[in-house]
Amino acid sequence: MKRSALFLSFIIMFFSINGKVIVQKDEELSIQYHPYLEMVIQSIESGDYHQAVKDLQKARDCYNKKKEACGFLYPDYMQLAGLVYMEFNQYERAENAFNEVLKQNPERKNILLFLGESLFRQSRYKEAVKYLKEGFEEGKDKPSYFALRSESEKRSGLTNDAADTLRTGIKLHKNNPLILRQAVVLFAENGFPESAAEILRNNRKHITESDSLYLYIAEKFIKEGSFQKAVLILEEAKIVHPSKESVAEMLAFVYAEAGMSEISGQIFKKVAKSNPEMAFNSSEQFRIAGNFKESLRVNRFIPEEKLRLKQKFMTYLSMKDFLRAYSLSFKLIEMYPDDDEILYHFA
């Protein structure tokens, strides 16, 4: 089962020393050592959340009968219960549990972060922002805090606040890939692809698989009609990720959109060596560029016969070689009599 982002930052660790199990507490959790909740923690640590539920039930049964005589305080129980509820996607119950802890122990400020995440999971983003802001001192040492808070602010329509949160996160956690990736996406999708490109360019060695971010920024440049900027970011991506076909393909498409068909055809031709489907694009771009010899040469590698013959037919027409185009059209009509496009060009 997938653990929540902040949960991973706060979970209690166990260590075996001289055969005795002891608890190394995160000082923010402040849960004391005792048998019942120790079993819950052990189940959580092993990833057995179903067992954790059973252990929590045993603890609750004991508390209902003996209260503090069971060896733990009720807020400690509720805090662990909230974490387990989070793991089972029961976010409303988790919220109630965390609120109960905060009600009884207002000094446990880390609960603000758990509350923020439980509200985020319920799509109650504005409320999540409120608690996450209050929990800044407890969360500032954790990159996941800035990622969650900025996403909450973004979904609340507070784009500028989200950007400021990520800037603070980058300042406090230099080179952290989680915050850097989120910053690139945030700036790109909100109309600042150049800022996104700058963040990526300055920090790419810290971001794994950055090719997807390059493509995302390029898409934003294309959307605003800045083909030259799209070409520049993709050329950079091609240098950083020379083996990524997706980068080369998009670069070829952008060159085509920008009217640089010859360059587009050359790139598609290289990509077609490993992805034959791109041979058509290469041949077509060479045709548009007027490089008919290269268009016909690449045409041979188009895997689909119908597409190959139609593209060759169009190249003959562009060459004004009407005799060969006329001859080929009969073959096309015979093979594909219902293709209106072929009939149109034949006429």
pLDDT tens-digit profile of 37-68?
Answer: 778 888 877 788 888 888 888 888 887 888 87
Q: Regarding predicted confidence, which is higher, 69 or 296?
A: 296
- Report how far residue 106's alpha carbon sits from residue 45's, in angstroms, rounded to the nearest whole number: 26
Surface-to-core class of residue 219, CB atoms within 10 Å of its CB (0-12 exposed, 13-18 middle, 19+ buried): middle
Query: Is the confidence at residue 13, as pLDDT, over 80?
Result: no
- Report how far residue 211's alpha carbon sits from residue 146's, in angstroms, rounded to the nearest whole number: 23
pLDDT tens-digit map of 285-304 = 999 999 999 999 999 999 99
Residue 28: its pLDDT value, please?
A: 42
Residue 346: its pLDDT value, please?
A: 54
Residue 83, by phi and psi: left (phi above 0), alpha (psi -120 to 50) or beta?
Answer: alpha
What number of CA atoms fall less than 13 Å from residue 212's CA on the CB side? 6
pTM: 0.66
> Which amino acid, residue 278?
M
